[in-house]
Structure 1
Amino acid sequence: MTGAVTGEMVLFFLAIMGAVAGVWWRIEGKIDKAMKTVSDEANTRANAAHSTAALVQSQLGEFKLEAARSYVSKDDVQQVRDEILGAVGGVLKSVDRINERLDRVVENNAKRQPVHRP
């Protein structure tokens, strides 16, 4: 092949280059199409995740509001506890007074009743 370049050789070379370029162009087209599909799917999933996050955030806000309405604060619990303990203390004092009263009743009955000896 050390001769002159003929028109047939040039055409053959151009045909080979055209075939390679065509294959390359088709591969690039498929890659672009696949990337677009993946990108669209990723965007769809990201939008769905964003919508879900916004919904969850809204529901969490509603739950916090409902919890604040439904449950008492620490100060309220402490106040009720103090009231209950005060009431229990009052009941304990009343029970102690009952014991004193019963002791007096028993003492008075012992003093009033004469001892009978047969």
Structure 2
Amino acid sequence: YRGVTEFLDVFDFHGGSSDLPVWSVDGRSVFHTAKVGNNVELFQVALAGDITQLTKTPDGTTHYHPTPSPDGKRLLYGSKRDGVRQLFVMTLADRSEQQLTTLKLGHGAMWPHWQPVPR
């Protein structure tokens, strides 16, 4: 995407909240979180207006800080399940996810980042 975005309207589904939108690598969509019921789920919104809910998780789950991979094929994010904040990576093509951390109660993983690709 090139140009100026004067206002980004991030839908908040069911009167919830949305935070920290981040552009996809190709600039054609935005990833964000939004409250759905008792959860905070991950979404992708295309510039064309298509909205895709990327996660549908058990009640009480909170996803946060989505970060697309440098190649745009995966999404790194945090997820609080069973009271512990862990890091996950999702393959966007099939929405499969893999848990990256196994922290215990009282610890948490926040603000994930990708290592820059060497040039």
User: Larger % of helix: which?
Assistant: 1
* TM value normalised by structure 2: 0.11
Q: Tell which has more relative contact order, 1 or 2 (C-alpha 8 A, sep 6+).
A: 2
The structure whose residues are more often strand, as a share, is 2
TM score, norm. by length of structure 1 = 0.12
Q: Looking at CA atoms only, which structure, 1 or 2, has the larger radius of gyration?
A: 1
